[in-house]
Structure 1
Amino acid sequence: MINHTFPVLGRQIPVRVPQTVDDFRQFQRYVIDRANAGERVAYDTETTGLGTYTSGFRIRTAQFGTPEEAWVLQVEKGDDLQRLATWALRTLPALSMQNRNFDMLASDRHLPGITLEELAPKTVDTYIYTHLADPRRRDQGGVGNGLKDAAAHYVDPHAPDTQGGLIEEFHKIGHTKDTGWPHIDIDNPLYLSYAGGDVILTSRLLPKVEARVRELGINPSLIPFEHEVGFICALIERRGMRINREYTTRLSAELLEESARWAEEAKKYGVANVNSTKQLSEALLGMGEVIPERTDGGAVQVDGKVLKRLADVDKDWEPIESRTPNPLAMAVLRSKRASKWRSSYAEAMLRTADENDRVHPKISALAARTARMAIADPPFQQLPSGKFEVRHAVRADDGHRMISVDYSSVEPRVMAALSGDERMTAAILRGDDLHNLTAASVYGPDFTPGQRKVAKVVQLGVAYGGGAKTIAAQTGLTIQAAQAAVKGYKRTYPQLARYIRSLQAQVIRDGYTLRTPSGRRLVFDRDAAYASFNGEIQSTARDIFAQGLLEIHARGLTPHVLLPIHDEIVADAPEAQAAEVAREIGEAMSMSLRGIPLGTDPDVGGGSWGSLYMKKATTMIENDTWYAANPEEAAAAEARRK
């Protein structure tokens, strides 16, 4: 037996690393005793990285622990140790994990015989409790939801940082915090001590955060709710999404060329480096642009928001039509976007795809302050909603068609339900277009398409706590015109305006906290009470989406789902069943909130995710690359256009 220790609250807690047959029998006795006592045991893995399904990924150690003891199995050393870890996972009736989806999926993929379905029902996730207690990251003023931050707050502020502490060890062997995990010696004493420390801290953290959630009076039903949502997301992540490797490889090359081409265009205006804020700001000011935004250091701000305003496009790259687009701003935006798409999507898909050319995006079911989900590796959630190029890399399974089901204007409907605004509610029930109603109120019945787009920005801006200054920056309006638009919006929906003011006052009285309709606790910065309605909308919309995901699962439709993204379910199904599956998913997601119907828009496409967007923009058929990679869909799109 190799014995190490891990310090907690001034005591050295034993960390045991079995080596011999007798050692393994002692470990088995430890597991059986914990099982007989019905004791919950913490479980964790040390792996070669985060790419669970990538080539070369492996579990190096599997560790089990209670508050007073930890055992580390060096499963990398042989099949017998892997089988022993599987036996322990099956024998123990109750487990706890920090961020359980990663360890459950790694074990499902790389330990013989263990499955996600077997682990999930008996595992609680300490991350869920920490997020329910305080959803803020540490840099946002919160406790933080990672093991290091949560353990420092709830368990022992002086306990070692079990990841950060290994960086020096990585440096000794010529690696970084990102590259050292597969290379550090598996017998390294600090590595093994910290592996055991993770489960010791997790087992000590659980009762603390359980008590904190009870103390705060958080809706107890959110605990099983979040565990079930997380499990469904793990099932989806395990299935993954098939990519067209040939198309993706070509896309990567073309994005590299596109980035360079637009960078050359920027050079015509004196910007030799599109990433140089100094060159860019000087060139834009030289072109006569007025840029009031400043960085914390006082420099001219030329971030993406500013550039999109100058280029006259919204966050989804749709033209706003409020000014003449600045050609330099557009060139820089396009160059940077092509470069980002290449690294974050095309190259990421090629790098993370498994042996069957399936990518498995990591789905954080409970992520933002508001609990909204996040997608990483690749970050599909950040793709503009109307763009098809990257999405065409994702293919349905053979003989299947792609499906998209999203909510119909879910956020304005949630706004109406929460505020009780009668005019907004009546418009929704009549089926009116809310943006048209706002535009008519602000500009009169003969409003232009550009004014409708401004009205849309105003509606979202006011709801999300943005004032005239923010709206002017997003639309290119003058401050006076933005103020007039805001006044017109509030005149259109007076109850909504009163509700927002009342909610902000209530949040301040309650110590900058808010309870959402689901009982979730949101915490706001002391200078950000204005964001409270935005937080309530976002959080409520997320919980509606998560409830829809649960209903999809209850109907047995999860095997069709490829990705939950924003307010949309991306799925596929055999061609003969696709329309029916889309309809069933849409029905599962549909519900009502305080009398406001929350309907869906099911859509069936062709063989790629991008085909769903083909029907939304006929100009897309002009892309020759897409024609070459998707001839059958291109033909169908051309027929639809004609």
Structure 2
Amino acid sequence: MVTYTRTHNGHTMTVNAPASAAEFDPSAFAAFTGSDPVLGLDVETRAIVKGGPGHFGPDAGVRLVQFGTPTTAWVLNPLIPEQQQAIRSVLADERHHFVTHTSYDVLAVWSAFGIPLGQRVVDTHLLSKLLVPDERAGHGLKELTGRYLDDGLKQAESALHARMRALAPVGSRAGNNPVDWGWNHLPADDEAYTVYAGLDAIYVRRLLPLLLARCTPFSHLVPMEAWLAAQSTGITVRGLLLDVPYTRTLLEQVQGEFEQAAATIHRALGFSGTSPRFADWLEQQVSGVTLPRTDTGRVQVTADSLAQLQQQVTDGTATLTEQGRELVRARQAMAARSNSMSNLRSFLAAADASGRVHPQINTLRAKTGRMSITAPALQTLKKHDPRLRHCFRADPGHVLVACDFSQVEVRVAAALSRDKTLMDVIASGVDLHDATATLMYGPGFSKEQRTVGKRATFGTIYGGGAKALAAQTGVSVQVARGVIQRWQRTYPEVIRFGKDIANATTVITGSGRRIPADPDRPYANSNYAIQSTARDLLVACVYTLATAHGLAGALWLFVHDEVIVQVPEQDAEHVRDLLTEVMTTTFRGVPIAADAEILGTHWGHLPEPEQVTVSVPEHVGA
């Protein structure tokens, strides 16, 4: 058996790499795996094609599997039957626990061997995000081991990449191509490849106790976050069924609408709506307002800036020529359709052979702990345009049931600030925004005043100012400033809470989560506390649903303050009532309300005239 040793910062590590069945000693390997209750686990895979089905696509494949202790690693080749059997035996044994970095290895293990690791895994990436939740802090394994241990793993990576560049054929040497070529073609017994693979498993195991020790002040969060990560990985593995015929039809429709809008602009002006010349032309069509500009001084032509201009025209604060009105509408249509086309294409590209999409749920993406969804980005799909959400459907015989908190951030703000007026409004059960508008303007408030007051509520809680409110509502900055002052007089303790917490260098939430303050944005501290608390309330409810009511396998997706489950059609009403019951709770005496509904067979419900009946696909290419 080939053995390599590496010493970094006085720490010697051994990598064992049996290159054949004859070199593999099962008894020595068994003694190794039994020597540590938690083994480092890492896999080397073929290059994952970005934007595709990832671990669930035809290009996926595991080339090496590594197990590590703080001093020793075994690098095994699953193409050698005896070694594959040993890999499967260790991974499937419930007595073995593992430490990995991100869910990448867990998903690769499931894809290659069909073995769920569940909660037998501790994720050092997750621990790092608990310690320093800022995404910009650097949470890669090489960064972390360099910070807490030494640069040995980084050196091994550099040696591997140099080897890939040296062996890559001439046609694969540009850009990142040598690395992609290497993941697919570098010989499994290449020294640089084997050493890098083995050290990955050793270093992640060495990193674990260092991170756990630093998590001691909030160690109670670790098992809950590990549990949530396991549930999220389960959602990824199960996947969401894509309604492929509907998605393709919608893509054709949206693309046609985009081309029609683009043609309208080109016929009128002789150039594209995406040309920089459109911004120059638009500036000549507007009067009465100063248009927002880019860093280079050109008029902004974004979906938000055009929507703001339209609102100003409607309010009479801006004047736009007749042709300007027509072509701004066309340019808005282009922007909206462009985004939709991008989403629809990403859905189709991400679908596996059975028409399932396997989104990646990042459970600690934001500083506050709020989750995000990537590959594809499903959290960005808006409720008010259900056509994109309608692309995803429940499995045959099942329906989707959703439940989300009602105005949870405002309720949490009331609980944290102890503002008596806001708490009384919430306790009364009346519409919160109606009550706020009444307190600010009197009982005769207008619809517009209610809207501005509603925006002021969320904006003030999140630390927004008059300029932000003006941009969101189309009112002048002076009017927005007056609205905010009225809101502050109405709910003074919310403002006091924001000012008090702005002085904190670290925001410590009720659950014990620690969020470093941003010195340049102290006003954001109240937002951190509110948003993080709302997130933890959702997770607590999900935990109850999964553990006390057996819905772990029914979890379908998390979207902001909403949980969606997939259940047999005959159970839908019972589960809807259960979701409402569990998610209707209290926080520090303030009611947390929840609304559950049966969505039906599809995530987004289309108006009846637009409903399209399509069959469940057997294959994406069918």
> What's the TM-score once normalised by structure 1's chain length?
0.85
Superposed CA RMSD in Å reads: 3.0
1:61 and 2:67 correspond: no
Q: C-alpha displacement at 1:324, in angstroms?
A: 8.4
C-alpha separation between the residues in 1 aligned to 2:448 and 2:316?
A: 5
Contact 1:557 1:585 in 2 (8 A): no
Summarize deviations over 1:531-588 as a string: whole Å, max 9, x none. Answer: 1111111111111111111111111012222111111122222222111112112323
SS of equivalent to 2:385: coil
Contact 2:405 2:593 in 1 (8 A): yes
C-alpha separation between the residues in 2 aligned to 1:24 and 1:308?
A: 66
Tell me: CA distance 1:489–1:153, structure 2 relative to 1, closer, same or farther (3 Å): same
* Alignment match, 1:503: 501
Contact 2:128 2:211 in 1 (8 A): yes
Tell me: CA distance 1:629–1:333, structure 2 relative to 1, closer, same or farther (3 Å): farther
Question: 546, 552, 574: which one pairs with 2:545?
Answer: 552
Contact 1:322 1:476 in 2 (8 A): no
Contact 1:308 1:330 in 2 (8 A): no
Tell me: CA distance 1:158–1:83, structure 2 relative to 1, closer, same or farther (3 Å): closer
Tell me: CA distance 1:78–1:245, structure 2 relative to 1, closer, same or farther (3 Å): farther
Tell me: CA distance 1:339–1:422, structure 2 relative to 1, closer, same or farther (3 Å): same
Contact 2:555 2:565 in 1 (8 A): yes
Q: C-alpha displacement at 1:443, in angstroms?
A: 4.0
Contact 1:41 1:94 in 2 (8 A): yes
Contact 1:237 1:362 in 2 (8 A): yes
Q: C-alpha displacement at 1:387, in angstroms?
A: 1.8
Summarize deviations over 1:424-458 as a string: whole Å, max 9, x none. Answer: 11111111222223333444433332332222221
1:602 and 2:596 correspond: yes
Q: C-alpha displacement at 1:248, in angstroms?
A: 1.4
C-alpha separation between the residues in 2 aligned to 1:254 and 1:162?
A: 50
The amino acid of 1:208's aligned partner reads L
C-alpha separation between the residues in 2 aligned to 1:463 and 1:227?
A: 30
C-alpha separation between the residues in 2 aligned to 1:582 and 1:59?
A: 41
The amino acid of 1:86's aligned partner reads R
1:121 and 2:119 correspond: yes
* Alignment match, 2:211: 209
Question: 143, 148, 155: which one pairs with 1:154?
Answer: 148
Q: C-alpha displacement at 1:86, in angstroms?
A: 1.3
Tell me: CA distance 1:43–1:389, structure 2 relative to 1, closer, same or farther (3 Å): same
SS of equivalent to 2:390: helix
The amino acid of 1:110's aligned partner reads A
Q: C-alpha displacement at 1:164, in angstroms?
A: 7.4
* Alignment match, 1:23: 23
Question: 523, 544, 550: which one pairs with 1:530?
Answer: 523
Contact 1:8 1:159 in 2 (8 A): no
* Alignment match, 1:388: 386
Written as runs of structure 1 = structure 2, the 5 A alignment for 1:79-98 is 79-91=81-93, 93-98=96-101
Deviates more, 1:542-551 or 1:2-11: 2-11
Contact 1:242 1:396 in 2 (8 A): yes
C-alpha separation between the residues in 2 aligned to 1:556 and 1:52?
A: 28
Contact 1:413 1:596 in 2 (8 A): yes
Written as runs of structure 1 = structure 2, the 5 A alignment for 1:87-486 is 87-91=89-93, 93-99=96-102, 101-111=103-113, 114=115, 116=116, 119-138=117-136, 142=137, 144-157=138-151, 159-160=153-154, 172-173=168-169, 174=172, 176=176, 179-180=180-181, 183-187=184-188, 188-214=190-216, 217=217, 219-267=218-266, 270=269, 272-276=271-275, 278-288=276-286, 290-291=289-290, 293-295=292-294, 300-312=299-311, 328-344=327-343, 346-486=344-484
SS of equivalent to 2:400: strand
Tell me: CA distance 1:628–1:224, structure 2 relative to 1, closer, same or farther (3 Å): closer
The amino acid of 2:68's aligned partner reads G
C-alpha separation between the residues in 2 aligned to 1:600 and 1:312?
A: 32
SS of equivalent to 2:603: coil
Q: C-alpha displacement at 1:158, in angstroms?
A: 6.4
C-alpha separation between the residues in 1 aligned to 2:6 and 2:316?
A: 62
Tell me: CA distance 1:213–1:190, structure 2 relative to 1, closer, same or farther (3 Å): same
The amino acid of 1:60's aligned partner reads R
Tell me: CA distance 1:59–1:490, structure 2 relative to 1, closer, same or farther (3 Å): same
Tell me: CA distance 1:12–1:32, structure 2 relative to 1, closer, same or farther (3 Å): closer
SS of equivalent to 2:42: strand
Summarize deviations over 1:131-163 as a string: whole Å, max 9, x none. Answer: 11111123xxx3x22212222221225641776
Contact 1:5 1:12 in 2 (8 A): yes
Tell me: CA distance 1:269–1:65, structure 2 relative to 1, closer, same or farther (3 Å): farther
C-alpha separation between the residues in 2 aligned to 1:324 and 1:280?
A: 18
C-alpha separation between the residues in 1 aligned to 2:417 and 2:465?
A: 19
C-alpha separation between the residues in 2 aligned to 1:195 and 1:238?
A: 25
1:627 and 2:612 correspond: yes
Contact 1:186 1:192 in 2 (8 A): no
Tell me: CA distance 1:65–1:426, structure 2 relative to 1, closer, same or farther (3 Å): same
Q: C-alpha displacement at 1:330, in angstroms?
A: 4.6
> What's the TM-score once normalised by structure 2's chain length?
0.88
Tell me: CA distance 1:106–1:439, structure 2 relative to 1, closer, same or farther (3 Å): same
Q: C-alpha displacement at 1:270, in angstroms?
A: 4.6
* Alignment match, 2:511: 518
Structure 2 residue runs without a partner (length 5+): 617-622
C-alpha separation between the residues in 1 aligned to 2:65 and 2:251?
A: 37
Deviates more, 1:78-87 or 1:384-393: 78-87
C-alpha separation between the residues in 2 aligned to 1:52 and 1:331?
A: 40
